[in-house]
């Protein structure tokens, strides 16, 4: 069957892309989704403690005021069931389900030069084709299970948090080992500890965390959200990271040490990702960052009673917020429970998994369940899992051997009419993602609308533009302290063999939006339309003028 457009993925991105292409441009669209329902991240991630770290009034679509008015959030941070309920409401309101196929994992997408069309194949052998292919596969949808020797011999059960069984896992009375202390692990440990007989947390990288301070939302707050829709929407569009709070204009050095302490204490009490917004130079000046890092490390030492455990938890060797900054509910307090212990893998590395549990260099720890809170093959993983081939059969896996190369994170040279929502090289994971997703989806929709109204058959990034953009993405990252955390998943460091390239664009979502708008207004500068018929414009990193880094400090 042939479609105007095929969209892969039915999370926030795929749903809105379907609505835009079908209902605004009038195209024949089909969405292919590997999972059994809509929701993306929130369909798959059902681990204990799973919750969004963006606040409910910002973690939503902003394209429809009516939709905003209709939706009431119940808590400051939405949990997976509430986000799924929200997306179900969206799907029903815009009648989206009829064009989505579930259980349809795309395994291959090949561009046919002669016909200018994409041929797609799913795991079950279903085939179809389309003029435009839009990947809405998410940045964090390819689970990363570390290759630890002996896993197949383990006599207990093991789970990855990103593929948690929908029926839940009964951990009551079980000896649970959790590997990983990133955002997910920090959410999961306190909840697992409540039911497990014993929880052993295996920590390779100590991490900062700020209390989330989740709470029910009052009717007054929900009324405020309805009445201030325009202002909230504008704030998410004007800030570097798409959240509904602004980053302070003051620098750390603008205040006295006493004032600074009071500011950090107030932010700690408020809770949430806003802690990063206390000073504008936290992500660009190491000395400024040290003040926040010292404050947070002191909090860990004050909370955790056992001095050796406190020291291991506070022994953090990256600047604050240069890795994805977690927020938590009683994470550090959990280590005061008698049924929780910490294993510092820097002192005693894992040697292997045994039939009975995990053996470190010092001992064997017996376990019934292993929980891998080890994150994802981020950004490129979901794309490279598919066999995507562009012009002359060129494989994306080959094109990206040394790291992803894109123009604006939206297109790849030699892959015509392929659009990547929140692709590598776009602000994506450094933002409150629905805002970044809306911007990409709307840009792609306008672009396809332009092609159709001008009788243009294909569009693709020019190699020069992609090179220049790549240089600019590096430049933006280098202007922040995020380059101090080379072991982060932003660099792909959690996946052995993955090229170490800083993947997201750290120049700020508001700047990025302007760059994308300007490029479209200049007739899609840097893109080649109907190759062979039009010439391209050569660009250099300097052409993204005015886009010098304005740090965008993580989701
Ligand atoms: C635990 C966790 C917490 C998060 N917290 C936040 C937060 O606090 N704030 C924030 O802004 N973002 C957060 N995120 C990021 C989150 O992914 C985005 O906010 C958002 O859900 C992304 O939507 P999406 O549609 O782009 O991708 P996804 O929601 O990941 O959806 C992609 C879909 O594509 C499907 N898919 C992938 N490959 C294929 C294929 N080959 N064939 C068919 N289907 C395929 C997947 O099954 C999936 O359903 C979090 C992510 C995780 C994992």
The pLDDT of residue 531: 79
Asked if the model's pLDDT at residue 505 lies above 50, the reply is yes
CA of 12 to the centre of ligand 1 (A): 8
Atom 31, ligand 1: which residue's CA is nearest? 40
Q: Give pLDDT, residue 536.
A: 58
Q: Which of 6, 9, 18, 329 to mutate to test the pocket of ligand 1 (most atoms within 8 A of CB)?
A: 9
Atom of ligand 1 nearest to the CA of 141: 30
Evaluate whether 140 touches 376 at the Cβ level (below 8 Å): yes
Q: Which atom of ligand 1 is nearest to the CA of 32?
A: 43
pTM: 0.96
128-137, 182-191, 447-456, 485-494 — which is least confidently predicted? 485-494
- Under 8 Å between Cβ of 31 and 7: yes
Q: Give the tens place of pLDDT for each residue, 259-286.
A: 999 999 999 999 999 999 999 999 999 9
Work out the percent of the chain whose per-residue pLDDT is above 70. 97
492 CA → ligand 1 middle, Å:
17
Residue 437 makes CB contacts below 8 A (sequence gap 6+) with 12, 13, 16, 421, 422
CA of 347 to the centre of ligand 1 (A): 34
- Pocket probe mutation, ligand 1, options 36, 40, 274, 555, max atoms within 8 Å of Cβ: 40
pLDDT beyond 60 at 50: yes
- The alpha carbon of 42 and the centre of ligand 1 are apart by a number of angstroms equal to 7
**Does position 141 have pLDDT exceeding 60, yes or no?**
yes
Nearest to 184 by CA among 201, 166, 167, 165: 201
Average pLDDT for 48-65: 98
Q: Among 45, 83, 138, which is best to mutate for testing ligand 1, by the most ligand atoms less than 8 A from CB?
A: 138
Give the position, in ligand 1's atom list, of the atom nearest the Cα of 382. Answer: 38
Residue 537: predicted pLDDT? 64
Q: At what angle do helices 219-227 and 229-238 cross, to 10 degrees?
A: 70
Asked if residue 135 has its Cβ within 6 Å of ligand 1, the reply is no
Ligand 1: does its nearest atom lie under 6 Å from the Cβ of 13? yes
What confidence category does residue 460 fall into, taking pLDDT thresholds of 50, 70 and 90?
A: very high
Provide, rounded to the nearest whole percent, the portion of the chain with pLDDT above 90.
Answer: 95
The pLDDT-based confidence of 532 (bands split at 50, 70, 90) is low
- Of residues 544 and 115, more confidently modeled: 115
pLDDT in tens, 357-384: 999 999 999 999 999 999 999 999 999 9
Q: Going edge to edge, which strands form the sheet with 175-179?
A: 157-160, 369-372, 175-179, 198-203, 340-344
Instruction: Calculate the CA 275 to chain-centre distance.
Output: 19
Q: Please work out whether the CB of residue 184 comes within 6 Å of at least one atom of ligand 1.
A: yes
Band of residue 539 on the pLDDT scale cut at 50, 70, 90: confident
Distance CA 453, CA 507 (A): 32
Distance 427 CA to ligand 1 centre (A): 15
Decide if pLDDT at 450 tops 60: yes
382 lines ligand 1 (CB under 6 A): yes
Q: How far is the CA of 448 from the centre of ligand 1 (A)?
A: 24
pLDDT at 47: 98
pLDDT exceeds 80 at position 252? yes
Nearest-angstrom CA–CA distance, 427 and 242? 10
Predicted confidence (pLDDT) per residue in 66-103, tens digit: 999 999 999 999 999 999 999 999 999 999 999 999 99
Q: Is 424 in the pocket of ligand 1 (CB under 6 A)?
A: no
- Which pLDDT band holds residue 555 (cuts at 50, 70, 90)? very low
- Do 30 and 6 touch, CB atoms closer than 8 A? yes
* Residue range 382-395, pLDDT digits in tens: 999 999 999 999 99
Structure tokens given for 100: 């989505």
Q: How far is the CA of 40 from the centre of ligand 1 (A)?
A: 5
Residue 52 Cβ contacting ligand 1 at under 6 Å: yes
Average pLDDT score over the chain = 96
Q: Is the pLDDT score of 542 beyond 80?
A: no
Does ligand 1 lie within 6 Å of residue 32's CB atom? yes
E strand or H helix at 13: helix 12-19
Does residue 553 surpass a pLDDT of 70? no
Q: How confident is the model at residue 61 (pLDDT cuts 50, 70, 90)?
A: very high
How confident is the model over 300-359, as pLDDT tens digits?
999 999 999 999 999 999 999 999 999 999 999 999 999 999 999 999 999 999 999 999
The response to whether residue 451 sits with its C-beta less than 6 Å from ligand 1 reads no
Decide if pLDDT at 486 tops 90.
Answer: no
Beta-carbon contacts of 274 under 8 Å, excluding residues fewer than 6 positions away, are 243, 245, 267
> For residue 548, is pLDDT > 50?
no
**Can you tell me which atom of ligand 1 is nearest the CA of 385?**
41
Q: How far is the CA of 294 from the centre of ligand 1 (A)?
A: 33
Please identify, by atom number, the ligand 1 atom nearest to the C-alpha of residue 107: 41
- In whole angstroms, what is the distance from residue 502 CA to residue 426 CA? 11
Whole-angstrom CA distances from 181 to 151, 186, 193, 494, 544 are: 20, 6, 14, 13, 37
Q: Pick the residue whose CA is nearest to atom 21 on ligand 1.
A: 41
Task: Please name the residue whose Cα sits nearest to atom 24 of ligand 1.
Answer: 138
* Angstrom distance (rounded) from CA 454 to CA 444: 15
Q: How far is the CA of 138 from the centre of ligand 1 (A)?
A: 4
Q: For residue 509, is pLDDT > 80?
A: yes
pLDDT confidence of residue 345: 97
Predicted local distance difference test score (pLDDT) of residue 521: 97
Position in ligand 1 atom list of the atom nearest CA 104? 43
Closest alpha carbon to 215 in 83, 354, 55, 405: 55
Q: Confidence band (pLDDT; 50, 70, 90) for 543?
A: confident
């Amino acid at each position: 069957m042939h479609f105007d457009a095929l969209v892969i993925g039915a999370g926030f991105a795929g749903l809105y892309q379907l609505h835009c292409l079908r209902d605004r441009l009038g195209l024949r669209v089909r969405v292919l989704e590997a999972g059994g329902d809509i929701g993306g991240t929130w369909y798959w991630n059902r681990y204990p403690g799973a919750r969004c770290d963006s606040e409910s009034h910002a973690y939503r679509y902003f394209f429809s005021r009516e939709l905003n008015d209709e939706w009431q959030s119940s808590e400051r941070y939405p949990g997976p069931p509430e986000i799924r309920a929200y997306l179900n409401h969206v799907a029903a309101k815009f009648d989206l389900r009829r064009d989505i196929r579930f259980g349809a994992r795309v395994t291959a997408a090949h561009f046919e030069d002669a016909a200018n069309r994409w041929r797609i194949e799913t795991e079950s052998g279903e085939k179809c084709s389309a003029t435009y292919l839009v990947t809405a596969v998410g940045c964090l949808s390819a689970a990363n299970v570390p290759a630890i020797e002996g896993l197949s011999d383990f006599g207990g059960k093991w789970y990855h948090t990103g593929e948690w069984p929908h029926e839940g896992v009964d951990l009551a009375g079980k000896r649970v080992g959790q590997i990983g202390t990133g955002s997910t692990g920090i959410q999961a440990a306190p909840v697992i500890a409540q039911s497990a007989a014993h929880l052993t947390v295996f920590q390779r990288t100590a991490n900062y965390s700020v209390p989330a301070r989740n709470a029910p939302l009052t009717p007054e707050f929900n009324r405020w959200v309805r009445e201030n829709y325009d202002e909230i929407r504008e704030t998410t569009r004007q800030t570097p990271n798409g959240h509904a709070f602004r980053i302070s204009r003051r620098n750390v050095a603008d205040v006295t040490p006493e004032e600074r302490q009071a500011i950090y204490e107030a932010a700690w009490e408020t809770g949430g990702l806003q802690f990063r917004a206390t000073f504008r130079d936290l992500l660009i000046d190491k000395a400024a960052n040290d003040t926040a890092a010292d404050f947070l490390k002191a909090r860990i030492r004050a909370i955790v009673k056992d001095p050796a455990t406190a020291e291991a938890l506070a022994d953090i060797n990256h600047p604050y917020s240069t890795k994805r900054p977690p927020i938590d509910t009683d994470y550090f307090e959990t280590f005061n429970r008698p049924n929780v212990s910490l294993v510092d893998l820097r002192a005693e590395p894992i040697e292997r998994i045994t039939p009975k549990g995990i053996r470190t260099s010092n001992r064997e720890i017996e376990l019934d369940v292993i929980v891998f809170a080890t994150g994802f093959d981020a950004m490129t993983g979901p794309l490279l899992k598919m066999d995507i081939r562009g012009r002359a059969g060129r494989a994306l896996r080959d094109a990206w051997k040394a790291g992803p190369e894109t123009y604006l994170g939206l297109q790849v040279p030699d892959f015509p009419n392929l659009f990547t929502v929140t692709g590598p090289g776009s602000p994506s994971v450094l933002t409150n993602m629905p805002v970044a997703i809306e911007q990409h989806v709307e840009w792609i929709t306008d672009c396809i609308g332009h092609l159709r109204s001008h009788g243009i058959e294909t569009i693709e990034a020019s190699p020069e533009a992609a090179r220049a953009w790549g240089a600019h993405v590096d430049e933006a990252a280098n202007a922040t302290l995020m380059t101090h955390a080379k072991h982060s998943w932003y660099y792909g460091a959690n996946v052995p063999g993955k090229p170490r390239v800083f993947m997201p664009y750290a120049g700020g979502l508001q700047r990025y939006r302007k760059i994308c708008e300007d490029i479209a207004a200049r007739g899609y500068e840097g893109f080649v339309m109907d190759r062979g018929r039009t010439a391209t414009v050569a660009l250099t990193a300097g052409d993204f003028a005015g886009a010098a880094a304005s740090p965008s400090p993580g989701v």
